[in-house]
Structure 1
Amino acid sequence: MKKMLMFASLATPMALPTVAEAQAIPPAIVAVVDLDKVSTNCNACKTAAAALRSQVQAYQGREGALATPLQTEGKSLQAAVDALGGKEPDAALKARITAFQNKQQQAAQELQRQQQQIQRNQQFVQKQIGDKLGPIYSQVMQRRGANLMVEVGSTLATASALDVSNDVVAGLNVALPAIQTNAPAAPATPQPQGR
């Protein structure tokens, strides 16, 4: 029995898995970046923001240009329908109403297409900036000796010495001298084929 216990006590350490020594984690050397500052101060970003604002203003102008005559025509048609006193409109009035509804629908579709294009353009601009920022973050971190970079908005408080926003802006100005503000056309949606 003694031999069996002794054998069991010797075999137990061999049967248990060994725990490897954990590698020490280096201390965090943090840098912070203000992405709002980066996106408003980079040269290409300023130009792109102005171009996008211009697109939005053009959209708003077109919206107003379409809405004004439609409102006038709609009021005129409503007055004609009200004048009937509940009677059925004649064929000419029905045709005017149908034409008005078609104009409304066409205007809405035009504005929707333009709005979608503006959204695609905004996303395209953001993608171009985002594609360049990753490598710039790495370069700035390496140059400044940081091993962690966080957005200033996700911190409670930071010292100004940790802010590398100007370095990121400078890197972005070099890496992205210009931004395309017109996204490629959206892929055409396939039309269902009849059988």
Structure 2
Amino acid sequence: MKTTFKILLATAAVSLMACGADPSVMDGYKSDAPKSTEVAVTQSGHAVEVSGAVINPPFTGRTTSAGFMTLQNKGDDARLIAASSPISETVEIHTHLKEDGVMKMRRIDGIDIPSGQTVVLEPGGYHLMMFNTTLADDAVDAPVTLTYADGTEVTMIVPIDGRGEEMDHSQMDHSKMDDGKKKDDHSGH
């Protein structure tokens, strides 16, 4: 039985390496690999370069974090439709709108990245909201997977840094999403 388990474990590890998975992200989502905020990705019919990616961890006592990055399209039109990360239960694409003098965050179904254009995910604009985030105390990075409309999925290791202190949360309404549902913990980004 032990031999069978060891063979299965070895087979799984070889399979992960053959698929290009980074085994260092399996252990607490901490990677000792060199960090690069420049990730060049070529996808079916389009090429999107991701740079400046960062995850702002939750504030103390909160579980919501946020992801920011720059997407530069060097190919055909592209559309980012989803994101995910094993450190968060749910990752949503959001934007901010000003209504009646108050900034309100809204979930959106995607971001168009036209050919030759750059789209910035930043505080106060497009961003990734990461709900129910769980981070090890010593976590320095985490995997994030971006999914495009053509079905392409790209996983990158993103540094965890800062808390977005430059944002003024006092003028924002975080209580409701575009579907009218209330989010219990939505202010930690």
TM-score higher than 0.5: no
Higher strand share: 2
Give the TM-score band, short-chain normalised.
under 0.3
Please report the TM-score for the alignment, with normalisation by the length of structure 1. 0.18
TM-score calculated relative to the size of structure 2: 0.18
- Indicate the structure (1 or 2) with the bigger Cα radius of gyration: 1
Higher relative contact order (CA 8 A, sep 6+): 1
